Amino acid sequence: MHKIMIPALVALGFAACLLAPPARAARVEDVVAACDRMDAAKPGSCRYVVTDKGLGGCTRVGCFYCPADGSRDCYAMRTSGKAQQVDVDKIQMKCNRGAEGWCK
């Protein structure tokens, strides 16, 4: 029984990763590194500023915000056109227009 359960659990976990929607939030360190990579590869493709309220930035498809609340998370704030997420290099932050209120 044990030999059957392990492959089944691995397959289930792999399928969940493939079918999972983009993350609503991303770690601030990852977003800053990804934005720096994007801007180095194509200048002007990603910019951000740091203030006492947090870190905010934009790519060509939308903007993100990382509040200085101790969570160390960044959220999609605005998207352009029909985009439902903000992509920063390979990081995807899904737009949530609901209760969290992060997207406008």
Domain count, the chain: 1
39 domain residue, yes or no: yes
Tokens read off for 31: 């977003």
Domain, as residue range, for 78: 22-94
The reply to whether 104 falls in a domain is: no
Instruction: Compute the distance between CA of residue 43 and CA of residue 34 in angstroms, rounded to an integer.
Output: 13
Tell me if 99 is assigned to some domain. Answer: no
Residue 30 lies in a domain: yes
How far is the C-alpha of 75 from the C-alpha of 1, rounded, in Å? 43
Confidence class for position 45, pLDDT limits 50, 70, 90: very high
Report pTM: 0.68
Question: Is 2 a member of any domain?
Answer: no
Tell whether 29 is covered by a domain. yes
pLDDT-derived band at 102 (thresholds 50, 70, 90) equals low
d(CA 22, CA 20) in angstroms, rounded, equals 7
Inside any domain, residue 100: no
Domain assignment present for residue 31? The answer is yes
Model confidence at 54, pLDDT cuts 50, 70, 90, reads very high
